[in-house]
Structure 1
Amino acid sequence: MRILLINGYTPHPDAGGKLTQTLVDISREKLSPQNEVKVTAITTYKASEEADKFRWADLILLYFPLYWYAIPWGLKRYIDDVFALHQFYDTDENGQPVALMPGKQFGYVTTLAAVADTYAPGNPLTEGLTVSDLLRPLTVTFRYVGIEPATHFHNCIFYDVYNPNVIQPIKASLLAELSKLDDE
């Protein structure tokens, strides 16, 4: 399988990006022996080269911290720059969208400083919204261009990442999820 790993970390005063990079590195090491793997960091890219990587890939995995209930602005900018008209999508004679990236899948690995209870049903702050709910625009954006949610990879959402006791379980959980791709 051809897999594109995208490090969507955007520099932020409260987050150095080390965990995101570690998760990308773990994934590359786990997946490379049985797959073709390419890695992109959104802090340095050329949109045309990234479009070529998307055309090449069967599976795209995004890695990013969740900032203020959304993807980092740099990842949003990357998507805006790379998902170009006539390359990723078009419109038909009736103005209806035409997806130009069918047959591809995506998933994400996201990290949060918040504890999981923040997104529990009945929490007045988030009003029952889950992280998946917050990231629905990301899913719809990928589906708009024909890239569907991965069938053999469950999105990884890791909470409370400033707690040093969760780092090893996060790594183990990611490796377990990536192992499912071995059966693909």
Structure 2
Amino acid sequence: MKNVFIINGHQKYPFSEGKLNASFAEKAELFFNRNGYNVKKTTMEDEYDVNEEIEKFKWADLVFFQTPINWMGVSWSFKKYIDHVFSTGMMGEMSDGDGRTREEPKKNYGLGGKLQGKYMMSVTANAPKEAFNDPNETFFGGISEDDLLRPMHLNFRWFGYEPLPTFMAYDVMKNPEIESDFKRFDDHLNTLFLQK
């Protein structure tokens, strides 16, 4: 796993310029470069060509995706990116449609992925860690971080990727612990990619 495609999915707003997500994406890029990986990247604020993005996915052994949670999902700019790139890619470059065949039209939905490799999501959220995995916390009702991110997991699974453990920085607007988050992030990367 030596080719890494880094995506920064942050959408800038007046109250959230994206510095923290950019910092995590930069830390990831430095980590992978320092450890001999080849890196390509895309930022939602940049212009992109759909066909070039498809080639990045086909090239990558690992897709590293950095995003804030915006209204329980990814930013609208990343959703637009998914609609453009993934929808184009599913017609043969990244998957064979939805995986079903004329012979078996009711089976194997979502299993047409043609890509191999892994993905890792790194997420910033304003929710505290304690809001997850606790049925007494009424809003999320006991769901995990990965339950909340299930649509993104399914998007990557559609193309054949396997998940790596998700990283999340919590409470980043009301009660940030940035230095601690950076340390946990470094440990997360070291554990996943350096320890055998």
TM-score by length of 1: 0.90
CA distance in 2, matches of 1:113, 1:56: 33
**Bigger share in strand:** 1
In the other structure, the counterpart of 1:104 is 117
The question of whether the paired residues in 2 share the 8 Å contact of 1:107 and 1:155 is answered with: yes
User: Of residues 116, 121, 142 in structure 1, which corresponds to 2:129?
Assistant: 116
Which residue among 132, 146, 150 is the counterpart of 1:136? 150
1:86 lines up with 2:88 in the alignment: no
Quote the offset at 1:2 in angstroms.
0.7
Unaligned runs of 5+ in 1: none
Report runs of 4+ in structure 1 exceeding 4 Å deviation: none
Question: For 1:7-65, what per-residue CA distance to the aligned partner results, in whole angstroms no more than 9, with x for missing partners?
Answer: 00012333110000000111111110221111110222111111111111000010010
CA distance in 2, matches of 1:183, 1:73: 36
Identity of aligned residues (%): 26
Deviation at 1:120, TM superposition (A): 4.0
- Cα deviation per residue 1:47-85 (whole Å; 9 max; x = unaligned)? 111111111100001001001111112112212211122
Q: How many residues align?
A: 180
Shift of 1:163: 5.1
Q: Of residues 27, 50, 54 in structure 2, which corresponds to 1:51?
A: 54
Displacement, 1:145?
1.1
User: Measured at CA, do residues 165 and 112 of structure 1 come closer, stay the same or move farther in structure 2, by a change above 3 Å?
Assistant: closer
* Cα RMSD (Å): 1.7
Higher relative contact order (CA 8 A, sep 6+): 1
Contact 1:4-1:39 at 8 Å conserved across structures: yes
